[in-house]
Amino acid sequence: MKEIQDLINCLNVQKNIVITSHRNPDGDAIGSCLALKSVLDAHLHVVNVVVPSDFPDDLSWLHGSGEIYVYDREQDKSLELIKSAEVIFCLDYNSLERVDKIGEAIRVSDATKVMIDHHLYPDGFADILISEPEISSTCELLYEVFKGAGWLSAITIHGLEALLVGMITDTGSFKYSISPNTFKNAGEIISQGGDIAHVQDMLYNHMPEKSLRLLGHCLSNRMNIYPDRKAGLIYLSKKDYMDFNIQRGDTEGIVNYLLRLDIVNIAGFISEQPSIVKVSLRSKGDFSVEKMAKEYFRGGGHKNASGGALYSSLKTVISTFEEATEKYKTEIINSY
Ligand code: 5GP
Ligand code: MN
């Protein structure tokens, strides 16, 4: 693959490197950054990770997560690192709009920009573009890049764990967007020492009590089902956030519960944040929530998992979801 050869050539002498990922980083974002850092560290480059906003507490067990620079907390240092970088990696995002303020710093930088991502329709700003929307996670794609570049011997046990985190979280524990290769790659990672039982345990058996109670609240009091269009919605207000002391990451995965219903082909999760209202969309089968996220919620993502955000009231965004699912009713019903 030409891009991998370009990457090898770009990194054949020691470089000052910054690895970035998207705002509200998730398991795939943090996992891919830390796995890549572990390999580049072993190759003796100078490597820093910078993300726009904080990541969920439940990823803080990952080795190296304490050294990640969060722009919201360390603005000057984050911008200075990006300014002085010779190579900038853009992992798990397809557009500089997904990285807020650091996007402009990346855009104007003279560094070689390397995008490794699995979202649809990548922007054209990268010098080396490795974009594979068919692959379930950036971590899986990154593992393929390591293999292709001959870098597997450099990866540490912690790096393997970080790769598994992204592969597991982006596929909902190997349930969505999977291919035979996903399992082949996971199998190889495990046979090289990646402790998948430990990773699953750290990801799913350390939930704070309030998160389970919040899930109960969502399912009992904040769930609308629209059987006429096979849609389901869960929404949370600012007050819910206060009442349940909800932190970043506490709502991760709640939207997927709606897909457990036979009568739901499209699921929405709408949450009222301090200044925006965030929307998560999921679908079963052929219906593309990526298109809906773009058309209605200024967002994007993947065919079956997308998101967006609007500067409107919670009520308006709920109405927008209702309007969007009404408009595409026939497609949604026939999609699965
Ligand atoms: P989530 O619903 O878990 O926040 O995100 C699901 C998918 O949609 C992820 O792949 C994520 O990258 C994408 N996504 C979430 N929010 C946004 C957004 O505001 N804009 C775009 N373009 N994609 C988003
Ligand atoms: Mn991802």
CA 221 – ligand 2 centroid, Å: 30
CA 290 – ligand 1 centroid, Å: 9
> At residue 260, does pLDDT exceed 80?
yes
Does 278 contact ligand 1 (Cβ within 6 A)?
A: no
pLDDT of residue 102: 97
> At residue 325, does pLDDT exceed 80?
yes
Does 52 contact ligand 1 (Cβ within 6 A)?
A: no
> At residue 273, does pLDDT exceed 80?
yes
Q: Specify the residue for token string 């349930």.
A: 175
> At residue 28, does pLDDT exceed 80?
yes
* Mean confidence (pLDDT) of the chain: 97
Q: Specify the residue for token string 């990194």.
A: 11
- The DSSP string of 161-216 is HHHHHHHHHHTTTTTSS--HHHHHHHHHHHHTT--HHHHHHHHHS---HHHHHHHH
In tens, the pLDDT along 184-233 reads: 999 999 999 999 999 999 999 998 899 999 999 999 999 999 999 999 99
In words, the CATH class of domain 210-333 is alpha beta
pLDDT of residue 249: 81
pLDDT interval class at 14 (50, 70, 90): very high
**CB proximity list for 273: less than 8 A, separation 6 or greater:** 238, 241, 309
Tokens of 195: 């402790």
- Cα 249 from Cα 257, distance rounded (Å): 16
- Domain ranges in the chain are 2-204, 210-333
> At residue 248, does pLDDT exceed 80?
no
Q: Determine the atom of ligand 1 nearest the C-alpha atom of 290.
A: 8
Does 309 contact ligand 1 (Cβ within 6 A)?
A: yes
Domain 2-204 CATH (choose: 3.90.1640.10, 3.40.1280.10, 3.30.2350.10, 3.30.56.10):
3.90.1640.10
Does 302 contact ligand 1 (Cβ within 6 A)?
A: yes
pLDDT of residue 61: 97
Residues 253-276 have a mean pLDDT of 96
Residues 134-150 have a mean pLDDT of 98
Length of the chain: 336
Does 103 contact ligand 1 (Cβ within 6 A)?
A: no
Lowest mean pLDDT among 2-6, 172-176, 295-299: 172-176
Residues 125-129 have a mean pLDDT of 98
Does 64 contact ligand 1 (Cβ within 6 A)?
A: no
- Percentage, residues of the chain above pLDDT 90: 96
Does 306 contact ligand 1 (Cβ within 6 A)?
A: yes
In tens, the pLDDT along 153-184 reads: 999 999 999 999 999 999 999 998 999 999 99
Q: At 145, which helix (H) or strand (E)?
A: helix 138-149
CA 280 – ligand 1 centroid, Å: 7
**CB proximity list for 74: less than 8 A, separation 6 or greater:** none
> At residue 96, does pLDDT exceed 80?
yes
CA 150 – ligand 1 centroid, Å: 31
Residues 12-21 have a mean pLDDT of 98
> At residue 2, does pLDDT exceed 80?
yes
